[in-house]
Amino acid sequence: MHIHDLLAGEEPKFSFEFFPPKTEAGTQALFASISELQSCLPSFVSVTYGAGGSTRSQTHDLVARLRKETGLNPVPHLTCIGHTEREVSQILERYTAAGVGNILALRGDAPAGAMNYEHRNDAFPHAADLVKFIRRFGERHGHSDPRGFGIGVAAFPEGHPATPNRFLEMDHLKAKIDAGADYICTQMFFDNRDFYDFKARCELAGIHVPIIAGIMPVSSVSGLHRMAGLAGGCRFPAKLLKALQRAGDDPDRVRRIGIHYATEQCSDLLQHGVRNLHLYTLNQSAASREILLNLGVIHRDGTHCRMTA
Ligand code: FAD
């Protein structure tokens, strides 16, 4: 089922992001987290694609396993970087065969160390080119859904650092929707005003697909510093930094602050009518479960309670 269809209706929807683990122990830990999160009834779970396509087969294998062994609806991320049309076709054929219904289409981060990566030399220089290709592929290749794959794209409420011109950036986002994308998932943000303003700018630009808000509960101060260095890195409000400063180097207090802050963010978003929230889990279940428990979405035993908007 397309994510766009799953997000219809007034009830708030939650989803989770995972990354493919590099080790067997990591895989076991991830599946333990997944079994904890399954009862929260996420509308979908997404699986990242390593920078430069470095987790190509791991992403596929994890998605195929989730399809086969769980009742979850997995959405693989797929990036343009370094891929030929033939390679992307092969990947899409495998996802079609595995019964995968949706893809998050991205340009992708350059491989580690490739600071001056030339995207224009790729078969798909921008995510919009990949969206167009996936849309045409699905229509031609007997996908179980006659519309082909549901296609999501990324957006950056605070702006992508590679495009300082925010008018052009909205044009590029609109180009992805016009190419066939049917929902947007945002980069994490820590000040909801950035999201509300972004949503209003989407409306002005004629973008009317569902927008899923990306929320990352802070789990450690070192993690926060790592995030700050990533492409598309975001702003950390003083309110959050002051709370973390009070926690000092006590990891449990930092974790509790992260959960509290993310709960407040989600609660405010829900009150403002934002119905689709995507939690970046870092393959852990505890923080996401606590946030959903605080919001009244799940019971203490992890089972889902119905919620109205
Ligand atoms: P695009 O939409 O192609 O935009 C990239 C840049 O090019 C932007 O600055 C845009 O304004 C500009 N641009 C777009 N079209 C044009 C044009 N026609 N002419 C000139 N400039 C243009 N990365 C990974 O490697 N793996 C992942 O799994 C992954 N998952 C992500 C999930 C989410 C929800 C988000 C928000 C990001 C994710 N990323 C991932 C990071 C993302 O791939 C990078 O931030 C990348 O730099 C931007 O990707 P995009 O899909 O928005 O690219």
Q: How far is CA 131 from the centre of its chain?
A: 16
Kindly tell me the burial class for residue 95, based on how many C-beta atoms sit within 10 Å of its own C-beta (0-12, 13-18, 19 or more): buried
Q: Report whether residue 126 contacts ligand 1, using a CB cutoff of 6 Å.
A: yes
Q: With the CA atoms of 163, 53, 55 and 144 taken in that order, what torsion angle do they form, in degrees rounded to the nearest 10? A: 90
Ligand 1 pocket mutation pick from 126, 201, 227 by most atoms within 8 angstroms of CB:
126
Q: Report whether residue 83 contacts ligand 1, using a CB cutoff of 6 Å.
A: no
Residue 162 banded pLDDT, cuts 50, 70, 90? confident
pTM of the model: 0.95
Q: Buried b vs exposed e over 54-88: b needs ≥16 C-beta within 10 Å?
A: bbbebbbebbbbbbeeeebbbbbbbbbbbbeeeeb
> Residue 188 Cα, ligand 1 centroid: separation in angstroms?
14
Closest CA to 189 of 227, 211, 216, 212: 216
> Residue 235 Cα, ligand 1 centroid: separation in angstroms?
18
Q: Report whether residue 152 contacts ligand 1, using a CB cutoff of 6 Å.
A: no
What does the block give as tokens for 147? 């519309």
Q: Is 47 helix (H, G, I), strand (E, B) or coil?
A: strand
Residue 21 banded pLDDT, cuts 50, 70, 90? very high
Return the percentage of the chain with pLDDT > 70, whole number: 98
> Residue 150 Cα, ligand 1 centroid: separation in angstroms?
18
pLDDT tens digits for range 119-149: 888 999 999 999 999 999 977 776 778 789 9
What does the block give as tokens for 113? 């160390």
> Residue 16 Cα, ligand 1 centroid: separation in angstroms?
20
Residue 309 clears pLDDT 60, i.e. is over it? no
Residue 254 banded pLDDT, cuts 50, 70, 90? very high
- Tell me the catalytic residues: 17
Q: With the CA atoms of 132, 134, 137 and 143 taken in that order, what torsion angle do they form, in degrees rounded to the nearest 10? A: -140
Residue 229 clears pLDDT 80, i.e. is over it? no
CA distances to 155, 233, 243, 290 from 171, rounded to whole Å, are 12, 21, 37, 38
Residue 113 banded pLDDT, cuts 50, 70, 90? confident
pLDDT tens digits for range 71-107: 999 999 999 998 999 999 999 999 999 999 999 999 9
The arithmetic mean of pLDDT across residues 18-37, rounded, is 96
Q: Bridge partners of 254?
A: none
